[in-house]
Structure 1
Amino acid sequence: MGWDDEYQVDPATNEVSGPYEAWQVVGCVLTLLVVGVVAARRWRPFGTALVLPVSFTLAWSVTAASEDDSGLWGVGAVLVLLGTAVASLVVVAVVAAIATAREPR
């Protein structure tokens, strides 16, 4: 998600959050959304729904596996794959529906 991967500690409550900031997650989601929409419009929509989750999960897994001592990165990888697959299917379905509705009859 980015270079800023340190946990933040609230000095007043000692509450720990992180390692990523909200803006990093929002930026990642918006980037995936733009890539998904552009790819679905220019190429086959459901091919995009297959490639995007696999490639994102692979990139996520490389980072997570290198930083995880517990081995739970594999569980995270499955969850990332499922989440990005569902989101990608929704995005390409909406793009395909809009493209179909715009076609002249």
Structure 2
Amino acid sequence: MSSWLPQLTSIDDPIADDYWSYETDEGVKRVAHITVGRPVPIPNDPGGDWYCPLRIEHPQNLEFLPVVGVGPVDALRNAMQYVWDGFHVLRKVSPRAKPPAVP
């Protein structure tokens, strides 16, 4: 990740939050937690670009991504495309899944 982008560890202003279920290639059912933050301008960016904070938590992986765009709508659209592309290759994807039980 480029050093000029924020290093995200949380999303302070979420605009969408959901759990999506999916099936792995091995046939195991999993649930991912997806949170999308409100797009914000990239600090000190002379071009005026924006980023959309994105958090995707899988059972063995947690990603925080600043998805870049040339404006707030473009950044949001790019974040949604990232989510779609990532889940499109999986099987039996379903939004509004139940959160996994906490042990």
TM-score by length of 1: 0.31
**Which is strand-richer, 1 or 2?**
2
Larger Rg: 1
Structure with greater contact order relative to length (CA < 8 Å, sep ≥ 6): 2
TM-score, length-scaled by structure 2: 0.31
More helix by share: 1
